[in-house]
Structure 1
Amino acid sequence: MHELPLVFFTVFTQCAVGAFILLLIGGALRQIEARRMAIGLFAAMCLFGLGVVIGIFHVGQPARALNMLFRVGASPMSNEIALSAVFGVLGGLSALGLLLKRGTSTLFVSLAWLAAAVGVVFVLAIPRIYQLPTVATWSSHYTTTIMVLTPFIGGGALAAFFGARRVGLWVSIIAILASFCLLPGYLSTITNADSALASAQTTWFTVQGVLLAVGLICAMAYARRNSGQPVLATAVLVIVAAELAGRVAFYNLWTLPM
Structure 2
Amino acid sequence: MHELPLVFFTVFTQSAVGAFVLLLIGGTLGQIEARRMAVGLFCAMCLFGIGVVLGIFHVGQPLRALNMLLRVGHSPMSNEIALSAAFAALGGLGSLGLLISRGTNGLCKALVWLAAAVGVVFILAIPQIYQLPTVVTWRSSYTTVMMILTALIGGGMLAALFGLRLGLLVSVLAILVSFCLRSGYISTLMSADGVLTAAQTNWFTAQAALLALGIVGVVIWVRLKANPAILAVTAVAVIAAELVGRIAFYNLWTLPM
Q: TM-score range with shorter-chain normalisation?
A: over 0.9
Residue aligned with 2:137, SS: coil
Q: Does 1:98 align with 2:98?
A: yes
Q: Does 1:176 align with 2:175?
A: yes
Q: Matched residues in 2 for 1:103 and 1:28: separation?
A: 12
Q: Matched residues in 1 for 2:88 and 2:50: separation?
A: 11
Partner of 1:193: 192
TM-score w.r.t. structure 2 length? 0.98
Answer yes or no: is the 8 Å Cα contact 2:38–2:102 preserved in 1.
no
Partner of 1:209: 208
- What whole-Å deviation, never above 9, does each CA across 1:106-134 have from its counterpart, x for those lacking one? 22112111100000000000000001111
Q: Among all aligned residue pairs of Structure 1 and Structure 2, give the percentage whose two residues are the same amino acid.
A: 68
**What displacement does 1:223 show?**
3.5
Q: Matched residues in 2 for 1:30 and 1:221: separation?
A: 26
Answer yes or no: is the 8 Å Cα contact 1:72–1:78 preserved in 2.
yes
Answer yes or no: is the 8 Å Cα contact 1:13–1:52 preserved in 2.
yes
How do 1:51-200 residues align onto structure 2 when only pairs under 5 Å count? 51-101=51-101, 104-164=104-164, 166-200=165-199
**What displacement does 1:216 show?**
1.1
Answer yes or no: is the 8 Å Cα contact 2:35–2:102 preserved in 1.
no
Q: Which amino acid aligns with 2:108?
A: F
Q: Matched residues in 2 for 1:232 and 1:171: separation?
A: 15
**What displacement does 1:242 show?**
0.1
Answer yes or no: is the 8 Å Cα contact 1:14–1:150 preserved in 2.
yes
Residue aligned with 1:126, SS: helix
Q: Matched residues in 2 for 1:110 and 1:156: separation?
A: 22
**What displacement does 1:225 show?**
4.4
Let me know the Cα RMSD of the aligned residues: 1.2
- What whole-Å deviation, never above 9, does each CA across 1:21-61 have from its counterpart, x for those lacking one? 00001111111111111110000000000000000110011
Runs of at least 5 residues in structure 2 that lack an aligned partner in the other structure: none
- What whole-Å deviation, never above 9, does each CA across 1:160-182 have from its counterpart, x for those lacking one? 00221x10000000000000000
Q: Does 1:50 align with 2:50?
A: yes
Q: Matched residues in 2 for 1:125 and 1:175: separation?
A: 20
Q: Which amino acid aligns with 1:80?
A: E
Answer yes or no: is the 8 Å Cα contact 2:208–2:241 preserved in 1.
yes
Answer yes or no: is the 8 Å Cα contact 1:155–1:168 preserved in 2.
yes
Answer yes or no: is the 8 Å Cα contact 1:90–1:111 preserved in 2.
yes
Instruction: Select between 200-209 and 222-231 the one with higher mean Cα deviation.
Output: 222-231
Residue aligned with 1:254, SS: coil
Answer yes or no: is the 8 Å Cα contact 1:40–1:163 preserved in 2.
no
Runs of at least 5 residues in structure 1 that lack an aligned partner in the other structure: none
Q: Number of residue pairs matched?
A: 257
Q: Matched residues in 2 for 1:77 and 1:144: separation?
A: 15
Answer yes or no: is the 8 Å Cα contact 1:169–1:223 preserved in 2.
no
Answer yes or no: is the 8 Å Cα contact 1:173–1:220 preserved in 2.
no
**What displacement does 1:105 show?**
2.0
Q: Matched residues in 2 for 1:42 and 1:103: separation?
A: 12
Partner of 2:39: 39
Answer yes or no: is the 8 Å Cα contact 2:5–2:55 preserved in 1.
yes
**What displacement does 1:63 show?**
1.9
